[in-house]
Amino acid sequence: MDIEQIRTFLSVAANGSFQEAANRLYVTQSTVSTRIQRLESYLRVSLFVRNRSGAHLTQQGHRFMRHAKSLLLTLEQARHDIGLPTRFRASITVGARIALWEEMLPHWIGEIHKQMPDVSLRCDIGFEEDLTRRLIEGTIDIGLMYTPQHSPSVMIEHLFDETLVLLTTDPTKPWPDDDYVYVDWGPAFYAQHCISYPDLERPAQVVNIGWLGIQLVISNGGSCFLPLRIAEPLIRRQQLHWVPDSPQFKLPSYMVFPKDSDCNVLEQVLDNLRALARLEQQKNYDLDNAGAY
């Protein structure tokens, strides 16, 4: 079994056709067939049902799918690590929720790069489930998230607390209104939201990413909860306004990393992240007390 067989399997599964997979991979259909036959011979199972309508995964093929994705990620990571230019002594992959990349993490990564210029940094976006899976698989080194999933193989460490504030495009309009966009910030936010608004019906608009909530509200008008650090520049530009007398919710953010790692620079990067998180917590505290909204 080799990486080209894995790529070919995933391409056939995605396209439902040996011919289409061949077109996408820039090889002949016979090459695709040979690779799949060799992979099936190695695994001793049939991965596809072939008929006139194309190629469809068997039950064993569906089971192999997640392993194939994991194998490809691991091989790509290995190639990335081994193929580092000599000016780098190590590589670190950081994955995080998109809201944490907004405004904050690019600055953090920049600071780490200044302090550790001989370390290659890869940055990815993902949700908690995907980030946790990749931490366990070893394809990322650090995950930053709001709702970490516990696993015996990872460590979970509180970094700082976001302050979520309710913003609107029209501060004169009574709230709640029909244009409220509920951003799903996770279970902790949901619990606080229910306590503060026990009689609020399900909003007409629900999103799972803060960035999308911002786009909908700014484009169409309305309101949503956002982290104060993201809200502050929007308030300063008067694109959004604080909803008077609205509650503020705390949203903890966490750093997750493997309990056992052979990366010799991981602890140094973690220490840098801890220091930057302390600065972020102080910044949020100052914004909160200064009444930035």
The CATH class that applies to domain 161-251 reads alpha beta
Return the pLDDT at 130: 87
pLDDT tens per residue across span 233-277: 999 999 999 998 999 999 999 999 988 877 779 999 999 999 999
Q: 90-159+255-290 adopts what CATH topology?
A: D-Maltodextrin-Binding Protein; domain 2 (3.40.190)
Return the pLDDT at 34: 95
Kindly indicate the confidence band of residue 291, based on its pLDDT and cuts at 50, 70 and 90: low
- State the average pLDDT for the chain: 89
Higher pLDDT, 162 or 137: 162
Kindly indicate the confidence band of residue 83, based on its pLDDT and cuts at 50, 70 and 90: low
d(CA 227, CA 249): 9
Higher pLDDT, 293 or 65: 65
Question: For the chain, where do the domains classified as CATH 3.40.190.10 start and end?
Answer: 90-159+255-290, 161-251
**Considering the entire predicted model, what is its pTM?**
0.71
Return the pLDDT at 151: 83
Higher pLDDT, 76 or 181: 181
The CATH class that applies to domain 3-81 reads mainly alpha
Written as six digits, the tokens of 115 are 């302090």
Kindly indicate the confidence band of residue 80, based on its pLDDT and cuts at 50, 70 and 90: low
Higher pLDDT, 89 or 45: 45
pLDDT at residue 49 tops 80: yes
Backbone angles phi, psi at 239, to 5 degrees: -80, -35
C-alpha distances (whole Å) from 207 to each of 5, 77, 80, 212 are 38, 32, 34, 7
Question: For the chain, where do the domains classified as CATH 1.10.10.10 start and end?
Answer: 3-81
